[in-house]
Chain A
Protein backbone atom coordinates (compact mmCIF):
# COMPACT_ATOMS: atom_id res chain seq x y z
CA UNK A 1 0.00 0.00 0.00
CA UNK A 2 2.84 2.36 0.88
CA UNK A 3 4.64 1.47 -2.32
CA UNK A 4 1.37 1.99 -4.20
CA UNK A 5 1.14 5.54 -2.88
CA UNK A 6 4.83 6.10 -3.57
CA UNK A 7 4.41 4.80 -7.12
CA UNK A 8 1.41 7.03 -7.74
CA UNK A 9 3.30 10.07 -6.47
CA UNK A 10 6.32 9.24 -8.59
CA UNK A 11 4.21 8.70 -11.68
CA UNK A 12 2.52 12.09 -11.34
CA UNK A 13 5.93 13.73 -10.89
CA UNK A 14 7.37 11.79 -13.83
CA UNK A 15 4.49 12.79 -16.12
CA UNK A 16 4.49 16.43 -14.95
CA UNK A 17 8.24 16.95 -15.28
CA UNK A 18 8.97 14.51 -18.07
CA UNK A 19 6.29 15.33 -20.60
CA UNK A 20 7.83 18.62 -21.83
CA UNK A 21 11.10 16.69 -22.21
CA UNK A 22 9.24 14.07 -24.28
CA UNK A 23 8.02 16.85 -26.59
CA UNK A 24 11.61 18.13 -26.73
CA UNK A 25 12.91 14.67 -27.65
CA UNK A 26 10.28 14.33 -30.38
CA UNK A 27 11.13 17.75 -31.86
CA UNK A 28 14.81 16.92 -31.70
CA UNK A 29 14.32 13.59 -33.50
CA UNK A 30 12.32 15.36 -36.17
CA UNK A 31 14.97 18.08 -36.53
CA UNK A 32 17.79 15.55 -36.90
CA UNK A 33 15.90 13.55 -39.53
CA UNK A 34 15.28 16.79 -41.45
CA UNK A 35 19.01 17.56 -41.38
CA UNK A 36 18.68 20.36 -38.83
CA UNK A 37 20.59 20.68 -35.56
CA UNK A 38 17.52 21.25 -33.37
CA UNK A 39 17.15 23.40 -30.25
CA UNK A 40 17.84 20.62 -27.73
CA UNK A 41 15.43 18.59 -25.63
CA UNK A 42 15.18 21.24 -22.89
CA UNK A 43 13.61 23.83 -25.20
CA UNK A 44 9.95 23.12 -24.25
CA UNK A 45 10.86 23.74 -20.60
CA UNK A 46 12.62 26.99 -21.55
CA UNK A 47 9.48 27.99 -23.50
CA UNK A 48 7.24 27.19 -20.52
CA UNK A 49 9.50 29.06 -18.07
CA UNK A 50 9.40 32.14 -20.29
CA UNK A 51 5.62 31.93 -20.86
CA UNK A 52 5.03 31.78 -17.10
CA UNK A 53 6.91 35.06 -16.70
CA UNK A 54 4.95 36.85 -19.42
CA UNK A 55 2.01 39.18 -19.00
CA UNK A 56 -1.34 37.34 -18.83
CA UNK A 57 -3.76 38.71 -21.42
CA UNK A 58 -7.42 37.74 -21.65
CA UNK A 59 -8.75 38.50 -25.10
CA UNK A 60 -11.32 41.29 -25.25
CA UNK A 61 -14.88 40.09 -24.61
CA UNK A 62 -13.99 36.68 -23.16
CA UNK A 63 -15.54 35.34 -19.96
CA UNK A 64 -15.06 32.54 -17.47
CA UNK A 65 -15.01 29.59 -19.95
CA UNK A 66 -11.89 31.11 -21.54
CA UNK A 67 -10.20 31.55 -18.16
CA UNK A 68 -11.25 28.19 -16.71
CA UNK A 69 -10.23 26.08 -19.72
CA UNK A 70 -6.43 26.01 -19.16
CA UNK A 71 -6.91 25.14 -15.47
CA UNK A 72 -9.40 22.39 -16.29
CA UNK A 73 -7.33 20.84 -19.06
CA UNK A 74 -4.17 20.83 -16.89
CA UNK A 75 -6.10 19.66 -13.80
CA UNK A 76 -7.77 16.73 -15.56
CA UNK A 77 -4.44 15.70 -17.10
CA UNK A 78 -2.85 15.65 -13.63
CA UNK A 79 -5.73 13.61 -12.17
CA UNK A 80 -5.54 11.11 -15.02
CA UNK A 81 -1.76 10.90 -14.49
CA UNK A 82 -2.49 9.88 -10.90
CA UNK A 83 -5.11 7.21 -11.60
CA UNK A 84 -3.87 5.32 -14.67
CA UNK A 85 -1.45 2.43 -14.04
CA UNK A 86 1.87 3.71 -15.41
CA UNK A 87 4.36 3.02 -12.61
CA UNK A 88 2.25 0.89 -10.28
CA UNK A 89 -0.93 -1.15 -10.67
CA UNK A 90 -1.89 -0.80 -7.01
CA UNK A 91 -2.49 2.92 -6.91
CA UNK A 92 -4.59 3.87 -3.85
CA UNK A 93 -6.69 5.92 -6.29
CA UNK A 94 -7.38 2.95 -8.55
CA UNK A 95 -10.86 2.41 -7.14
CA UNK A 96 -11.74 6.06 -7.79
CA UNK A 97 -11.39 5.99 -11.52
CA UNK A 98 -11.83 3.12 -13.94
CA UNK A 99 -11.74 3.18 -17.72
CA UNK A 100 -14.96 5.21 -18.00
CA UNK A 101 -13.80 7.87 -15.56
CA UNK A 102 -10.40 8.19 -17.26
CA UNK A 103 -11.97 8.59 -20.70
CA UNK A 104 -14.50 11.08 -19.33
CA UNK A 105 -11.77 13.11 -17.59
CA UNK A 106 -9.76 13.33 -20.80
CA UNK A 107 -12.92 14.34 -22.67
CA UNK A 108 -13.69 16.95 -20.00
CA UNK A 109 -10.32 18.59 -20.67
CA UNK A 110 -10.93 18.64 -24.44
CA UNK A 111 -14.46 20.00 -24.05
CA UNK A 112 -13.26 22.73 -21.66
CA UNK A 113 -10.65 23.82 -24.18
CA UNK A 114 -13.22 23.79 -27.01
CA UNK A 115 -15.60 25.93 -24.93
CA UNK A 116 -12.74 28.31 -24.18
CA UNK A 117 -12.03 28.55 -27.90
CA UNK A 118 -15.71 29.22 -28.66
CA UNK A 119 -15.72 31.90 -25.96
CA UNK A 120 -13.17 33.99 -27.86
CA UNK A 121 -15.73 34.42 -30.65
CA UNK A 122 -13.05 34.38 -33.34
CA UNK A 123 -13.45 32.50 -36.61
CA UNK A 124 -10.48 30.23 -35.98
CA UNK A 125 -11.46 29.47 -32.40
CA UNK A 126 -14.90 28.28 -33.48
CA UNK A 127 -13.47 26.33 -36.39
CA UNK A 128 -10.90 24.60 -34.20
CA UNK A 129 -13.53 23.80 -31.57
CA UNK A 130 -15.91 22.24 -34.10
CA UNK A 131 -13.10 20.16 -35.61
CA UNK A 132 -11.86 19.03 -32.20
CA UNK A 133 -15.38 17.94 -31.28
CA UNK A 134 -15.72 16.01 -34.55
CA UNK A 135 -12.47 14.18 -33.80
CA UNK A 136 -13.40 13.69 -30.14
CA UNK A 137 -16.77 12.15 -31.03
CA UNK A 138 -14.94 9.42 -32.95
CA UNK A 139 -11.98 9.05 -30.59
CA UNK A 140 -13.74 8.58 -27.26
CA UNK A 141 -15.87 5.54 -28.26
CA UNK A 142 -12.81 3.96 -29.87
CA UNK A 143 -10.79 4.30 -26.65
CA UNK A 144 -13.64 2.75 -24.67
CA UNK A 145 -14.34 -0.10 -27.08
CA UNK A 146 -10.71 -1.03 -27.67
CA UNK A 147 -10.01 -1.27 -23.94
CA UNK A 148 -13.24 -3.29 -23.55
CA UNK A 149 -11.59 -5.95 -25.72
CA UNK A 150 -8.93 -6.28 -23.01
CA UNK A 151 -11.31 -5.94 -20.08
CA UNK A 152 -13.51 -8.84 -21.23
CA UNK A 153 -10.63 -11.23 -20.49
CA UNK A 154 -10.28 -9.81 -16.98
CA UNK A 155 -13.94 -9.19 -16.27
CA UNK A 156 -13.35 -5.67 -14.97
CA UNK A 157 -13.07 -2.15 -16.37
CA UNK A 158 -10.43 -1.22 -13.79
CA UNK A 159 -7.27 -0.35 -15.71
CA UNK A 160 -5.14 -1.55 -12.81
CA UNK A 161 -6.70 -5.03 -12.90
CA UNK A 162 -6.36 -5.25 -16.70
CA UNK A 163 -2.66 -4.45 -16.48
CA UNK A 164 -2.17 -6.83 -13.53
CA UNK A 165 -3.75 -9.64 -15.55
CA UNK A 166 -1.40 -8.91 -18.45
CA UNK A 167 1.62 -8.90 -16.12
CA UNK A 168 0.63 -12.32 -14.79
CA UNK A 169 0.08 -13.76 -18.25
CA UNK A 170 2.14 -11.72 -20.77
CA UNK A 171 1.39 -14.07 -23.67
CA UNK A 172 -2.32 -13.24 -23.43
CA UNK A 173 -1.42 -10.06 -25.35
CA UNK A 174 -0.48 -12.12 -28.40
CA UNK A 175 -4.06 -12.69 -29.44
CA UNK A 176 -6.05 -11.32 -32.40
CA UNK A 177 -8.20 -9.27 -30.02
CA UNK A 178 -5.20 -7.56 -28.40
CA UNK A 179 -3.48 -6.84 -31.70
CA UNK A 180 -6.63 -5.26 -33.15
CA UNK A 181 -7.15 -3.26 -29.95
CA UNK A 182 -3.52 -2.12 -29.97
CA UNK A 183 -3.77 -0.81 -33.54
CA UNK A 184 -7.07 0.95 -32.79
CA UNK A 185 -5.67 2.53 -29.62
CA UNK A 186 -2.49 3.63 -31.41
CA UNK A 187 -4.54 5.43 -34.10
CA UNK A 188 -6.74 7.23 -31.56
CA UNK A 189 -3.64 8.18 -29.56
CA UNK A 190 -2.30 9.96 -32.63
CA UNK A 191 -5.66 11.64 -33.24
CA UNK A 192 -6.30 12.65 -29.64
CA UNK A 193 -2.84 14.11 -29.10
CA UNK A 194 -2.98 16.04 -32.38
CA UNK A 195 -0.07 14.48 -34.25
CA UNK A 196 0.47 13.90 -37.97
CA UNK A 197 -1.46 12.57 -39.97
CA UNK A 198 -4.52 13.93 -38.13
CA UNK A 199 -3.19 17.30 -36.99
CA UNK A 200 0.17 19.04 -37.27
CA UNK A 201 1.45 20.53 -33.98
CA UNK A 202 3.99 22.76 -35.79
CA UNK A 203 1.71 24.30 -38.39
CA UNK A 204 1.28 28.03 -39.00
CA UNK A 205 -1.57 27.56 -41.47
CA UNK A 206 -4.72 28.43 -39.56
CA UNK A 207 -6.95 26.72 -42.11
CA UNK A 208 -5.44 23.28 -41.45
CA UNK A 209 -5.29 23.54 -37.66
CA UNK A 210 -7.33 21.52 -35.20
CA UNK A 211 -5.80 21.75 -31.72
CA UNK A 212 -3.64 24.81 -32.44
CA UNK A 213 -6.63 26.79 -33.77
CA UNK A 214 -8.30 26.49 -30.36
CA UNK A 215 -5.38 27.97 -28.45
CA UNK A 216 -4.59 30.89 -30.78
CA UNK A 217 -5.95 33.45 -28.31
CA UNK A 218 -4.15 32.16 -25.20
CA UNK A 219 -1.10 34.10 -24.02
CA UNK A 220 1.50 33.93 -21.28
CA UNK A 221 0.79 31.67 -18.25
CA UNK A 222 -2.50 30.40 -19.73
CA UNK A 223 -0.70 29.25 -22.86
CA UNK A 224 1.97 27.62 -20.70
CA UNK A 225 -0.73 25.60 -18.91
CA UNK A 226 -2.35 24.54 -22.19
CA UNK A 227 0.97 23.46 -23.73
CA UNK A 228 2.05 21.66 -20.56
CA UNK A 229 -1.31 19.87 -20.43
CA UNK A 230 -1.15 18.72 -24.03
CA UNK A 231 2.38 17.40 -23.43
CA UNK A 232 1.09 15.54 -20.35
CA UNK A 233 -1.80 14.05 -22.31
CA UNK A 234 0.62 12.82 -24.95
CA UNK A 235 2.81 11.09 -22.38
CA UNK A 236 -0.23 9.65 -20.56
CA UNK A 237 -1.54 8.13 -23.79
CA UNK A 238 1.85 6.69 -24.74
CA UNK A 239 2.35 5.40 -21.19
CA UNK A 240 -1.10 3.80 -21.16
CA UNK A 241 -0.42 2.18 -24.52
CA UNK A 242 2.80 0.65 -23.19
CA UNK A 243 1.20 -0.40 -19.87
CA UNK A 244 -1.75 -2.13 -21.54
CA UNK A 245 0.18 -4.07 -24.15
CA UNK A 246 3.74 -4.31 -22.82
CA UNK A 247 3.59 -4.00 -19.01
CA UNK A 248 7.17 -5.14 -18.43
CA UNK A 249 8.72 -3.71 -15.29
CA UNK A 250 5.53 -2.20 -13.88
CA UNK A 251 5.29 -2.48 -10.08
CA UNK A 252 2.49 -4.83 -8.96
CA UNK A 253 1.07 -5.61 -5.52
CA UNK A 254 3.81 -6.49 -3.04
CA UNK A 255 6.59 -4.77 -4.94
CA UNK A 256 9.33 -3.13 -2.92
CA UNK A 257 10.54 0.47 -3.07
CA UNK A 258 13.37 -0.52 -5.39
CA UNK A 259 10.94 -2.13 -7.85
CA UNK A 260 8.90 1.08 -7.89
CA UNK A 261 11.97 3.18 -8.64
CA UNK A 262 13.01 0.74 -11.35
CA UNK A 263 9.49 0.90 -12.75
CA UNK A 264 9.79 4.70 -13.15
CA UNK A 265 12.96 4.23 -15.21
CA UNK A 266 11.32 1.54 -17.34
CA UNK A 267 8.30 3.81 -17.90
CA UNK A 268 10.53 6.70 -19.00
CA UNK A 269 12.36 4.39 -21.36
CA UNK A 270 9.21 2.90 -22.88
CA UNK A 271 7.53 6.28 -23.38
CA UNK A 272 10.72 7.74 -24.86
CA UNK A 273 10.97 4.85 -27.35
CA UNK A 274 7.32 5.24 -28.35
CA UNK A 275 7.82 9.01 -28.70
CA UNK A 276 10.89 8.57 -30.90
CA UNK A 277 9.01 6.07 -33.09
CA UNK A 278 6.05 8.46 -33.37
CA UNK A 279 8.28 11.43 -34.26
CA UNK A 280 10.25 9.39 -36.80
CA UNK A 281 7.03 8.09 -38.34
CA UNK A 282 5.76 11.65 -38.72
CA UNK A 283 8.68 12.56 -40.97
CA UNK A 284 7.52 9.98 -43.49
CA UNK A 285 3.91 11.10 -43.50
CA UNK A 286 1.92 14.06 -44.76
CA UNK A 287 -1.12 15.37 -42.98
CA UNK A 288 -4.40 13.84 -44.10
CA UNK A 289 -7.04 16.00 -45.70
CA UNK A 290 -9.52 16.97 -43.01
CA UNK A 291 -12.33 15.13 -44.81
CA UNK A 292 -10.32 11.91 -44.74
CA UNK A 293 -9.74 12.06 -40.96
CA UNK A 294 -13.22 10.68 -40.07
CA UNK A 295 -12.54 7.75 -42.41
CA UNK A 296 -9.31 6.94 -40.57
CA UNK A 297 -10.99 7.25 -37.19
CA UNK A 298 -14.04 5.24 -38.28
CA UNK A 299 -11.59 2.59 -39.46
CA UNK A 300 -9.94 2.53 -36.04
CA UNK A 301 -13.36 2.26 -34.40
CA UNK A 302 -14.11 -0.71 -36.64
CA UNK A 303 -10.84 -2.34 -35.56
CA UNK A 304 -11.81 -1.79 -31.93
CA UNK A 305 -15.22 -3.34 -32.56
CA UNK A 306 -13.59 -6.33 -34.26
CA UNK A 307 -11.28 -6.63 -31.26
CA UNK A 308 -14.26 -6.91 -28.93
CA UNK A 309 -15.92 -9.45 -31.22
CA UNK A 310 -12.68 -11.45 -31.46
CA UNK A 311 -12.23 -11.47 -27.70
CA UNK A 312 -15.67 -13.10 -27.41
CA UNK A 313 -15.36 -15.67 -30.16
CA UNK A 314 -11.66 -16.53 -30.24
CA UNK A 315 -10.74 -16.39 -26.58
Chain B
Protein backbone atom coordinates (compact mmCIF):
# COMPACT_ATOMS: atom_id res chain seq x y z
CA UNK B 1 0.00 0.00 0.00
CA UNK B 2 2.91 2.33 0.75
CA UNK B 3 4.26 1.80 -2.76
CA UNK B 4 0.82 2.39 -4.30
CA UNK B 5 0.51 5.72 -2.47
CA UNK B 6 4.00 6.66 -3.63
CA UNK B 7 3.11 5.83 -7.25
CA UNK B 8 -0.08 7.91 -7.04
CA UNK B 9 1.71 10.85 -5.40
CA UNK B 10 4.64 10.84 -7.82
CA UNK B 11 2.54 10.57 -10.96
CA UNK B 12 4.32 10.98 -14.26
CA UNK B 13 8.04 11.75 -14.04
CA UNK B 14 8.77 11.71 -17.78
CA UNK B 15 9.38 15.18 -19.16
CA UNK B 16 7.31 16.25 -22.18
CA UNK B 17 8.93 15.05 -25.39
CA UNK B 18 11.15 17.80 -26.83
CA UNK B 19 10.82 18.80 -30.48
CA UNK B 20 12.84 16.59 -32.80
CA UNK B 21 16.31 17.91 -33.55
CA UNK B 22 16.56 18.28 -37.34
CA UNK B 23 19.40 16.19 -38.63
CA UNK B 24 20.08 13.72 -41.34
CA UNK B 25 19.12 10.16 -40.42
CA UNK B 26 21.27 7.32 -41.75
CA UNK B 27 19.57 5.75 -44.79
CA UNK B 28 19.46 2.32 -43.13
CA UNK B 29 17.41 3.74 -40.25
CA UNK B 30 14.37 4.16 -42.51
CA UNK B 31 13.99 0.37 -42.78
CA UNK B 32 13.60 0.08 -39.01
CA UNK B 33 10.36 2.09 -39.04
CA UNK B 34 10.01 3.21 -35.46
CA UNK B 35 11.56 0.28 -33.65
CA UNK B 36 15.24 0.14 -32.74
CA UNK B 37 16.70 -2.48 -30.46
CA UNK B 38 20.04 -1.36 -29.07
CA UNK B 39 22.89 -3.46 -27.73
CA UNK B 40 25.33 -1.53 -25.58
CA UNK B 41 29.00 -2.44 -25.95
CA UNK B 42 31.46 -1.01 -23.45
CA UNK B 43 34.71 -1.06 -25.43
CA UNK B 44 36.80 0.43 -22.62
CA UNK B 45 34.74 3.28 -21.22
CA UNK B 46 35.26 4.96 -17.83
CA UNK B 47 31.52 4.36 -17.15
CA UNK B 48 30.72 8.07 -17.32
CA UNK B 49 28.79 7.48 -20.55
CA UNK B 50 27.00 4.47 -19.01
CA UNK B 51 25.61 6.68 -16.24
CA UNK B 52 24.20 9.03 -18.88
CA UNK B 53 22.79 6.12 -20.93
CA UNK B 54 20.93 4.78 -17.93
CA UNK B 55 19.44 8.19 -17.25
CA UNK B 56 18.49 8.57 -20.93
CA UNK B 57 16.55 5.28 -20.61
CA UNK B 58 15.32 6.15 -17.12
CA UNK B 59 11.93 7.61 -16.21
CA UNK B 60 12.79 11.30 -16.76
CA UNK B 61 14.07 11.19 -20.35
CA UNK B 62 12.37 7.87 -21.21
CA UNK B 63 14.06 7.05 -24.53
CA UNK B 64 11.83 3.97 -24.73
CA UNK B 65 8.81 6.10 -25.70
CA UNK B 66 10.44 6.76 -29.09
CA UNK B 67 10.57 3.04 -29.86
CA UNK B 68 14.11 2.27 -28.70
CA UNK B 69 14.84 -0.60 -26.36
CA UNK B 70 17.99 -2.02 -24.82
CA UNK B 71 18.39 -5.75 -25.49
CA UNK B 72 20.56 -8.49 -24.04
CA UNK B 73 22.02 -9.93 -27.23
CA UNK B 74 23.60 -8.45 -30.38
CA UNK B 75 21.51 -10.94 -32.38
CA UNK B 76 18.38 -9.10 -31.23
CA UNK B 77 19.86 -5.70 -31.96
CA UNK B 78 19.58 -3.22 -34.81
CA UNK B 79 22.18 -0.84 -33.45
CA UNK B 80 25.33 -1.15 -31.38
CA UNK B 81 25.84 1.64 -28.86
CA UNK B 82 29.62 1.72 -28.35
CA UNK B 83 31.23 3.74 -25.56
CA UNK B 84 34.87 4.36 -24.74
CA UNK B 85 38.04 4.10 -26.82
CA UNK B 86 38.42 0.59 -28.20
CA UNK B 87 40.99 -1.12 -26.00
CA UNK B 88 43.20 -3.92 -27.31
CA UNK B 89 41.26 -6.44 -25.22
CA UNK B 90 37.89 -5.33 -26.60
CA UNK B 91 38.87 -4.90 -30.25
CA UNK B 92 38.06 -8.49 -31.28
CA UNK B 93 35.00 -8.57 -29.02
CA UNK B 94 33.59 -5.45 -30.70
CA UNK B 95 34.23 -6.91 -34.18
CA UNK B 96 32.47 -10.13 -33.22
CA UNK B 97 29.52 -8.28 -31.69
CA UNK B 98 29.22 -6.26 -34.93
CA UNK B 99 29.31 -9.44 -37.03
CA UNK B 100 26.57 -10.96 -34.87
CA UNK B 101 24.11 -8.15 -35.60
CA UNK B 102 21.76 -8.99 -38.51
CA UNK B 103 21.50 -6.47 -41.38
CA UNK B 104 20.43 -3.65 -41.49
CA UNK B 105 22.81 -2.72 -38.68
CA UNK B 106 23.95 0.61 -37.34
CA UNK B 107 26.69 1.74 -34.96
CA UNK B 108 26.41 4.69 -32.61
CA UNK B 109 29.73 5.99 -31.25
CA UNK B 110 28.81 7.58 -27.94
CA UNK B 111 31.09 10.11 -26.27
CA UNK B 112 34.37 11.78 -27.16
CA UNK B 113 36.40 8.64 -26.39
CA UNK B 114 34.42 6.58 -28.90
CA UNK B 115 34.76 9.30 -31.57
CA UNK B 116 38.49 10.09 -31.32
CA UNK B 117 39.85 8.33 -28.19
CA UNK B 118 39.44 11.56 -26.12
CA UNK B 119 41.92 11.84 -23.27
CA UNK B 120 43.06 8.27 -23.89
CA UNK B 121 44.43 9.03 -27.38
CA UNK B 122 47.83 7.40 -27.84
CA UNK B 123 47.62 5.35 -24.63
CA UNK B 124 49.40 2.00 -24.81
CA UNK B 125 46.27 -0.11 -24.25
CA UNK B 126 44.12 1.70 -26.82
CA UNK B 127 43.65 0.16 -30.27
CA UNK B 128 41.88 3.22 -31.72
CA UNK B 129 38.55 4.99 -32.01
CA UNK B 130 35.38 3.02 -32.77
CA UNK B 131 35.50 4.06 -36.45
CA UNK B 132 38.92 2.38 -36.76
CA UNK B 133 37.32 -0.99 -35.91
CA UNK B 134 33.73 -0.93 -37.22
CA UNK B 135 31.89 1.55 -39.53
CA UNK B 136 30.14 4.26 -37.50
CA UNK B 137 26.78 5.71 -38.58
CA UNK B 138 25.96 8.16 -35.80
CA UNK B 139 28.29 10.07 -33.47
CA UNK B 140 27.30 11.70 -30.20
CA UNK B 141 29.91 14.19 -28.91
CA UNK B 142 30.41 15.04 -25.24
CA UNK B 143 32.41 13.85 -22.26
CA UNK B 144 30.05 12.44 -21.20
CA UNK B 145 27.19 13.39 -23.58
CA UNK B 146 24.06 14.72 -21.89
CA UNK B 147 21.00 12.46 -21.83
CA UNK B 148 19.24 14.95 -24.16
CA UNK B 149 21.96 14.37 -26.77
CA UNK B 150 21.69 10.58 -26.41
CA UNK B 151 17.89 10.76 -26.75
CA UNK B 152 18.23 12.99 -29.84
CA UNK B 153 20.63 10.48 -31.45
CA UNK B 154 18.27 7.60 -30.68
CA UNK B 155 15.35 9.54 -32.18
CA UNK B 156 17.29 10.03 -35.40
CA UNK B 157 17.35 6.24 -35.71
CA UNK B 158 13.74 5.54 -34.71
CA UNK B 159 12.36 8.51 -36.64
CA UNK B 160 9.82 9.25 -33.89
Interface of A toward B, CB cutoff 8 Å: 31-40, 43, 46-47, 49-50, 53-57, 59, 203-206, 209, 212, 216-220, 223, 283-284
- Residue of A with least CB distance to B4: A284
A39 to B64, CA, bound (A): 6
User: What's the dominant secondary structure at chain A's contact region?
Assistant: loop
Chain B residues 19 to 42 lying within 8 A of chain A, measured CB to CB, are: 31-35, 37
A47 to B14, CA, bound (A): 23
**Contact among A32, A47, A53 with B37 in the assembled complex (CB-CB below 8 Å):** A47
**Contact among B17, B31, B100, B104 with A37 in the assembled complex (CB-CB below 8 Å):** B17
Determine whether the beta carbon of B70 is less than 8 Å from that of A218. Answer: no
Determine whether the beta carbon of A204 is less than 8 Å from that of B71. Answer: yes
A125 to B11, CA, bound (A): 39
Q: How many residues of B contact A (CB 8 A)?
A: 33
Determine whether the beta carbon of A54 is less than 8 Å from that of B65. Answer: no
Contacts of A217 in B (CB 8 A): 73, 75
User: What's the dominant secondary structure at chain B's contact region?
Assistant: loop
Contacts of B31 in A (CB 8 A): 50, 53
**Contact among A36, A40, A220, A284 with B62 in the assembled complex (CB-CB below 8 Å):** A36
Determine whether the beta carbon of A284 is less than 8 Å from that of B33. Answer: no
Closest beta carbon of chain A to B97's beta carbon, Å:
13
B119 contacts the other chain (CB 8 A): no
Closest beta carbon of chain B to A80's beta carbon, Å:
26
Determine whether the beta carbon of A56 is less than 8 Å from that of B102. Answer: yes
Residues A36 and B14 in contact in the complex (CB < 8 Å), given A54-B102, A219-B102: yes
Closest beta carbon of chain B to A309's beta carbon, Å:
35
Most buried by B among A31, A54, A203: A54
Residues A33 and B37 in contact in the complex (CB < 8 Å), given A39-B64, A39-B65, A43-B67: no
A283 to B72, CA, bound (A): 21
Most buried by A among B3, B11, B67, B103: B67
Contacts of A55 in B (CB 8 A): 102-104
Residues A216 and B70 in contact in the complex (CB < 8 Å), given A36-B59, A54-B103, A55-B103: no
B66 contacts the other chain (CB 8 A): yes
A55 to B65, CA, bound (A): 25
Closest beta carbon of chain A to B92's beta carbon, Å:
16
Contacts of B69 in A (CB 8 A): 39, 47
Closest beta carbon of chain B to A79's beta carbon, Å:
27
Query: Could you list 28 examples of A-B contacts with CB < 8 Å?
Result: A32-B12, A35-B7, A35-B11, A36-B13, A36-B62, A36-B64, A37-B12, A37-B17, A37-B62, A38-B65, A39-B64, A39-B69, A43-B67, A46-B35, A47-B35, A50-B78, A54-B103, A55-B104, A57-B102, A203-B72, A204-B70, A205-B72, A206-B72, A212-B72, A216-B75, A216-B76, A218-B76, A223-B76
